[in-house]
């Protein structure tokens, strides 16, 4: 699990909470990844930024005896981080970007990988507008090339940030800071890289809009499973004195005063929203305070009051 990034695009939230621990619809992001990863496998976490905090959360989970932690002194990029774990990767392994929420069927992906006998398999996602992503070109199930942000994309399929790889790929990663997506995969194509297409839930939670979309998707799923009656989640000890317009997530111990307009937002653990305030399409960081009648719209409010 690649969990060493800075999470710059979620600042100022990630100033105080490392991205893998950011609460999303009531759970830390990393928990969703662990739902999807094979439950009987050892899990290696590549730690860098805020590594200690991430590690201590993971060690508090019941299944922590299958976790291995590998520290990076300096961020090595996605490829360098994988190479840095080489001593634990002498068999076939999966890689998960730490900010992807999905319901990928890992077993089906591993079976697909075995059937193709390539050096690696990349989960692929079809998107409507692929021009801002890295797109793959395909011949059947085989990836033939990668095209970065193409004006005229050959397919609508993008790299979904989850891979099954053979240990031979480690020899193709040079020492130092390396991006697996940009520097290794394009060269691995000639050794047989395959694309596993899947539908269902998939979203990266790297930005405010994508965080809010993921929150909505996860809350809607809980509604369809009958766990909640509308896409609104209020922690049992939160106090809410205003109406909430879905989707909304109110974390543990958060307090929302009277006469507020609260819509499409996450008000995280211990945050306080003063009377008459507006919070719309926003994240209020854990412990942050929205002053009375203040307006927080389309932005992230940090604990120290900074907003971006």
Q: Near ligand GTP by CB under 6 A, which window of 70-78, 249-257, 267-275, 276-284? A: 70-78
Using CB under 6 A as the binding rule, whether residue 95 contacts ligand GTP is answered as no
Annotate 72-137 with DSSP letters as a single string. Answer: -SS--HHHHHHHTTGGG-SS-EEEEBTTEEE---HHHHHHHHHHHT-SEEEEEEE-S-GGGSEEEE
Examine residue 6 and tell whether it contacts ligand GTP (CB under 6 A): yes
Residue 134 is a binding residue for ligand GTP (CB under 6 A): no
Is 293 catalytic? The answer is no
Q: How many residues bind ligand GTP (CB under 6 A)?
A: 21
- Give the integer Cα–Cα distance in Å for 219 and 208: 16
Part of the chain binding ligand GTP (CB under 6 A), chosen from 68-76, 128-136, 259-267, 297-305? 68-76
How many Cβ atoms from other residues are within 10 Å of residue 256's Cβ?
26
> Residue 57 interacts with ligand GTP (CB under 6 A)?
no
Name residue 139's beta-bridge partners: 142
Among 15, 16, 34, 75, binds ligand GTP (CB under 6 A): 75
- The Cα 282–Cα 206 span in angstroms is 14
- From the list 73-81, 101-109, 162-170, 296-304, the region that binds ligand GTP by CB under 6 A is 73-81
Stretch that binds ligand GTP, among 95-103, 183-191, 274-282, 298-306 (CB under 6 A): 95-103
- 146: tokens are 């990668």
Q: Which of 54, 72, 248, 301 binds ligand GTP (CB under 6 A)?
A: 72
Question: Which letter does DSSP use for residue 269 in this model?
Answer: T
Examine residue 181 and tell whether it contacts ligand GTP (CB under 6 A): no
Work out the number of other CB atoms within 10 angstroms of the CB of residue 166.
Answer: 19
Measured CA to CA, the distance from residue 241 to residue 226 in angstroms comes to 25
Using CB under 6 A as the binding rule, whether residue 98 contacts ligand GTP is answered as: yes
Catalytic residue among 83, 107, 149, 293: 149
Asked if 79 touches ligand GTP (CB under 6 A), the answer is no
- Residue from the set 23, 28, 206, 286 that interacts with ligand GTP by CB under 6 A: 206
Nearest to 219 by CA among 201, 241, 198: 201
Taking the C-alpha atoms of residue 130 and residue 108, their distance in angstroms, rounded to an integer, is 25
Q: To the nearest whole angstrom, how small is the minimum distance from the Cβ of residue 197 to ligand GTP?
A: 21
77 lies in the binding site for ligand GTP (CB under 6 A): yes
Q: How far apart are CA 41 and CA 36, in angstroms?
A: 11
Summarize as ranges the residues that interact with ligand GTP (CB under 6 A). Answer: 2-9, 19, 46, 48, 72, 75-78, 81, 97-99, 206
Catalytic residues: 149
């Amino acid at each position: 699990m690649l969990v060493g990034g800075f999470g710059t695009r979620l600042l100022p939230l990630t100033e105080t909470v490392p991205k893998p621990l950011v609460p999303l619809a009531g759970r830390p992001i990393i928990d969703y990844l662990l739902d999807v990863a094979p439950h009987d496998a050892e899990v290696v976490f590549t730690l860098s930024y805020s590594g200690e905090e991430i590690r201590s959360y993971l060690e508090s989970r019941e299944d922590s005896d299958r976790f291995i932690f590998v520290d990076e002194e300096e961020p090595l990029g996605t490829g360098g981080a994988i190479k840095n774990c080489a001593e634990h990767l002498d068999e076939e392994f999966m890689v998960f970007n730490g900010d992807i929420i999905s319901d990928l069927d890992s077993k089906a992906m591993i079976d697909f990988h075995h059937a193709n006998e390539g050096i690696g398999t990349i989960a692929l996602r079809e998107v409507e507008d692929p021009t801002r992503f890295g797109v793959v070109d395909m011949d059947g199930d085989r990836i033939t090339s990668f095209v970065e942000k193409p004006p005229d994309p050959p397919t609508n399929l993008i790299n979904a940030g989850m891979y099954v790889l053979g240990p031979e790929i480690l020899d193709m990663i040079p020492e130092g800071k390396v991006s697996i997506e940009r520097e290794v995969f394009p060269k691995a194509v000639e050794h047989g890289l395959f694309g596993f297409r899947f539908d269902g839930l998939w979203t990266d939670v790297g930005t405010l809009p994508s965080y809010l979309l993921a929150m909505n998707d996860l809350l809607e799923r809980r509604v369809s499973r009958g766990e909640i009656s509308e896409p609104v989640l209020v922690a049992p000890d939160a106090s809410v004195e205003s109406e909430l317009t879905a989707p909304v997530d109110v974390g543990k111990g958060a307090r929302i005063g009277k006469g507020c307009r609260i819509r499409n937002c996450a008000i995280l653990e211990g945050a306080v929203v003063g009377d008459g305030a507006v919070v719309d399409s926003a994240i209020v960081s854990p412990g942050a305070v929205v002053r009375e009648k203040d307006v927080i719209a389309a932005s992230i409010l940090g604990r120290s009051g900074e907003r971006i």
